[in-house]
Structure 1
Amino acid sequence: MDPLSAVSVELAELDGRITDIFRALSNGFQKLEKIKDSSRQSRQLEELTDKMRECKRLIKEFDREAKEEESRNTADTNRMLSEKKQSMIKELNSYVALKKQYAGNLENKRADLFDGPGDEEGPGEQNVLLASSMTNQQLMDTGNRMMDDTDQAIERSKKVVQDTINVGAETAAALKAQTEQMSRIVNELDSIHFSIKKASQLVKEIGRQVATDRCIMALLFLIVIGVIAIIIVKIVNPHNKDIRDIPGLGPPAARRLLWDQK
């Protein structure tokens, strides 16, 4: 027979919810052992911390409900509820100690970024052993103090993670700006290369045109020189038979003879 069958539905429901959280914490810490990345470990510890806070709240609610029903329960039932509550507190403290140990490991990994608090010797196992000799209030106070310490460690870890994210974002922005600048430089180099290519083609065309013009000018110059040479020869030696038949360059006497024949 289930011992909680003699208590109210509220207490049985609280016990079931607390048991579910303990199962989730056990699975969460098993998953945490397989995670190697510090950032993911920090996020996993945050999730586990939220579950521990919820579990602590439910244990307080369980204790309050048990005290309200204490007058209506038998002595055996009240003793069973007290032992159940103490067992819950011990189990929660064991998870708190385990979380503190993981948080301390993260602190050691980031020792170059911030100063982590020194861990107590044997934090997990030692706290579990001492829990059996503590009263309920001492257990609650110890659990609260340990959770406060681990919360501070998690906050420092979160700050480091956020700083890392900010540095990564700034680096990504700088790389993006440099990439855009390099892209603009490549585009400008392409434009310059295209302009140089067009200028080279234009220079070649101008060179060919100038060469053609020079050839034409040289030919015209030779023609002019030849004409001048013929004129000079005709003037110097008007009876030269080699140039007598050139139109317009015949001797004056021949031209007068032609007029006289008319």
Structure 2
Amino acid sequence: MDAHQAGSAARHGPDQGSSDAAPAVVAPAAPPRPEPEPRTGVAALSLRYQIGAALALAVVAIAVCVHVGMVFLHVAPPNTVTKQHGQAIDDWIYPEFEQNWKLFAPNPLQQNISVQVRAEVGTADGGRRTTGWYDLSAQDGRSIDGNLLPSHTQQNELRRAWDFFVATHDAENRPVGLRGALSETYLRRIVRLRLDRVEAAGAGGTVERVQVRSRTANVPPPKWSDEQISGQATYRVLPWWSLPEEETAGAVAAGEGGAR
């Protein structure tokens, strides 16, 4: 290269087409793929368990529909279905799901009715003793008082059992109709279970017989009313009921406490 060419190269710089002068182009990196969110609930189950859950839900839905339908037919006016299948409807409803409309009657219930029970207990030495009267309705009342969400059992089980008994027995406590024996068994089992829950106040024993009575007192009228009603309570005392062997097994009665 002569001096002229060297000077020209110095003034103009390297060749524009030279590959050494071109900047390198870097392709942007691909963003990472997001990880799939974990499945929750039924979707997290295997196919076999999903099928089982679907079948269980279907069974529950069918049972609810049948129950709602039975209750509707029970409270509906007499019709072709109730005339043909009335016994099946009654078997489904009574005694646990019986409907009661006294709150909306022309003359709503204006009495306080409490159900009480006492027991005849066989002691370990072969003797017998009779407990005092336990006010089961008062026990339910104490459980409900101040309870924002009382259970259906606390509110209705004992009350409805007594209503069921009264509706299927005459004034002499004799059963009327086919449901009389059922109502007696239902009430007896309830009071028998309630006796188990009473705290022992003395020596225990095996409950052999129970007796139920009701105490009815009129609700006092308001102060501004001039209505005159009797404040005397009346009692309806049922005969002693012997307990079947399967109901007395392991039964321990409470002591002598209770309502008198």
User: Shorter-chain TM-score: which interval?
Assistant: under 0.3
Larger gyration radius, structure 1 or structure 2:
1
Between structures 1 and 2, the one with greater helix share: 1
Between structures 1 and 2, the one with greater strand share: 2
- Return the structure number with greater relative CO, CA threshold 8 A, min gap 6: 2
